[in-house]
């Protein structure tokens, strides 16, 4: 029974060490991973959205008269 407990303790120690090392490696590589995927995401979104100039109507050159609110009786 003691051998089983020793094996479980060693396995838990190895798993904890693997989690710590994996977290450290991932933390140091976050900037490069983010830069890569943001570039890919920008390409995908740019391809999905058509040209903005074709969608947005032109701005009016003149405006209409001012709108007045009715005066309250009190």
Structure tokens at 74: 């009190």
* Residue 26 covered by a domain: yes
* Predicted pLDDT of residue 46: 80
For the cut 90, the answer to whether the pLDDT of residue 72 exceeds it is no
What DSSP designation does 50 have?
-
Q: Could you tell me the pLDDT band of residue 59, with boundaries at 50, 70 and 90?
A: confident
Q: What domain range is 24 assigned to?
A: 2-52
Residue 13 lies in a domain: yes
Hunting for tokens 């009190």 — which residue is that? 74
User: Is 41 a member of any domain?
Assistant: yes
Q: Residue 55: what pLDDT?
A: 73
CA–CA separation, 9 and 15 (whole Å): 10
Residue 21 domain-assigned (yes or no): yes
Q: Please state, in angstroms and as integers, the Cα–Cα distance from residue 44 to each residue in 14, 25, 74, following that order.
A: 41, 28, 59
User: What mean pLDDT do residues 3-32 have?
Assistant: 95
Number of domains comprising the chain: 1
67 within some domain: no
Confidence (pLDDT) at 52: 66
């Amino acid at each position: 029974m003691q051998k089983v407990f020793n094996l479980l303790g060693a396995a838990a120690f190895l798993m904890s060490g693997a989690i710590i090392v994996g977290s450290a490696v991932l933390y140091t590589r976050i900037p490069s991973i983010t830069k890569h995927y943001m570039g890919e995401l920008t390409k995908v979104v740019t391809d999905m959205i058509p040209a903005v100039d074709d969608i947005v109507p032109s701005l009016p050159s003149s405006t209409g008269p001012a709108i007045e609110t009715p005066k309250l009786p009190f």
